[in-house]
């Protein structure tokens, strides 16, 4: 039937490298945990009932929580990390045409897992607030612009701030990304309903500009 890592590896064509590596890591860790409790030939837990599967997943979640798979465990991982690991394991099961091991007879997340994750969330440390660029800062930029050229640059800055510079789109990350960078052909200028070419001497008289995102994270293509 194959192992969980092999099942997860087939996701490579559907997700970016970073996501695939995370899923493979979760699959390998789950297999390691199963072996540590004596389950070596039943990666999809066919030999245990639903309730036992839930308990095994709970115990695996606690291993993730305590970062026992790390060579130097330091602190408790957040509930999001536990949930993400369980999600990856469930995806491996479903890729192998196996039932989602997290669900109860009604197709909902097992009550024991719900309570476990809820308990983790209640004891997680609070989020550290980060200083954000507010709308007043952008307005101040625009007020300081004097020439029409400066004002046009500020308008592009504000447009980029809200639409083009979302998290992970214009920062350096490892691995390939599905989101495509905006290039010249993605920006079009119009005067009335007429498209103004980039090479046109009348480009500065354009009345509006459109920005096209070619491929977004939600798989929408333009």
147: containing domain: 135-211
Quick check: is 130 in a domain?
no
* In a shared domain, residues 10 and 118: yes
Backbone angles phi, psi at 53, to 5 degrees: -60, -45
Tell me, yes or no, whether 222 lies in a domain: no
Where among 123, 157, 176 does a domain terminate?
Answer: 123
End position of a domain, from candidates 103, 123, 143 = 123
Residue 50's CATH number? 1.10.150
Question: Alpha-carbon torsion 65, 30, 103, 58, what sign?
Answer: negative
Q: Is 51 exposed, middle or buried (0-12, 13-18, 19+ CB in 10 A)?
A: exposed
Local confidence band at 1 (pLDDT 50, 70, 90 cut-offs): very low
Q: Examine the domain organization and report whether 101 and 207 are in the same domain.
A: no
Give the pLDDT mean for 25-33.
Answer: 89
pLDDT at 101: 95
Q: Residue 104: inside a domain, yes or no?
A: yes
pLDDT score recorded for residue 150: 86
**Same domain, yes or no: 146 and 116:** no
Q: What's residue 10's pLDDT?
A: 55
Assess whether 171 and 144 both reside in one domain. yes
The pLDDT tens digits of the residues spanning 53-63 come to: 999 999 999 99
Residue 24 neighbours by CB distance under 10 Å: 20
Number of domains in the chain: 2
Residue 20 forms part of a structural domain: yes
Final residue of a domain: which of 96, 123, 150? 123
Residue 186 has pLDDT above 50, yes or no: yes
Do 75 and 11 belong together in one domain?
A: yes
Residues 139 and 118 in one domain: no
176/154 same-domain check:
yes
Angstrom CA distances, 211 to 62, 72, 162, 222, stand at 46, 46, 12, 11
| Tens digits of residue pLDDT in 199-217 | 999 888 888 888 777 765 5
Per-residue pLDDT band at 19 (split at 50, 70, 90): low
87 and 172 in a single domain? The answer is no
Q: Same domain for 180 and 148?
A: yes
- Model confidence pLDDT, tens digit, residues 81-128: 999 999 999 988 888 889 999 999 999 999 999 999 999 999 998 877
Q: Same domain for 112 and 207?
A: no
Clarify whether residues 96 and 178 are in a common domain: no
Domain annotation covers residue 221 = no
> Using CA atoms, how far apart are residues 188 and 171, in angstroms rounded to an integer?
24
pLDDT number for residue 60: 96
If you average pLDDT over every residue of the chain, what do you get?
Answer: 81
Same domain flag for 151 and 189: yes
Which two tokens mark 110? 């097992």
d(CA 118, CA 38): 29
Residue 166 has pLDDT above 70, yes or no: no
């Amino acid at each position: 039937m194959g192992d969980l890592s092999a099942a997860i590896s087939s996701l490579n064509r559907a997700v970016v490298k970073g996501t695939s590596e995370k899923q493979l890591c979760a699959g390998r860790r789950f297999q390691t945990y199963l072996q540590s409790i004596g389950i070596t030939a039943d990666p999809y837990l066919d030999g245990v009932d639903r309730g036992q599967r839930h308990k095994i997943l709970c115990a695996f979640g606690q291993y993730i929580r305590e970062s026992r798979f790390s060579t130097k465990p330091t602190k408790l991982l957040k509930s999001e990390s536990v949930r993400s690991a369980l999600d990856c394991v469930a995806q491996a099961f479903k890729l192998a045409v196996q039932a989602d091991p997290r669900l109860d007879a009604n197709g909902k997340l097992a009550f024991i897992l719900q309570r476990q994750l809820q308990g983790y969330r209640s004891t997680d440390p609070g989020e550290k607030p980060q200083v954000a660029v507010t709308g007043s800062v952008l307005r101040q930029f625009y007020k300081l612009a004097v020439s029409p050229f400066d004002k046009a640059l500020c308008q592009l800055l504000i447009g980029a701030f809200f639409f083009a510079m979302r998290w992970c789109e214009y920062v350096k990350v490892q691995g390939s990304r599905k989101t495509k960078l905006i290039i010249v052909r993605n920006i079009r200028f119009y005067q009335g309903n007429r498209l103004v070419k980039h090479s046109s001497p009348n480009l500065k008289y354009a009345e509006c500009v459109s920005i096209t995102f070619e491929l977004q994270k939600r798989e929408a293509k333009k």
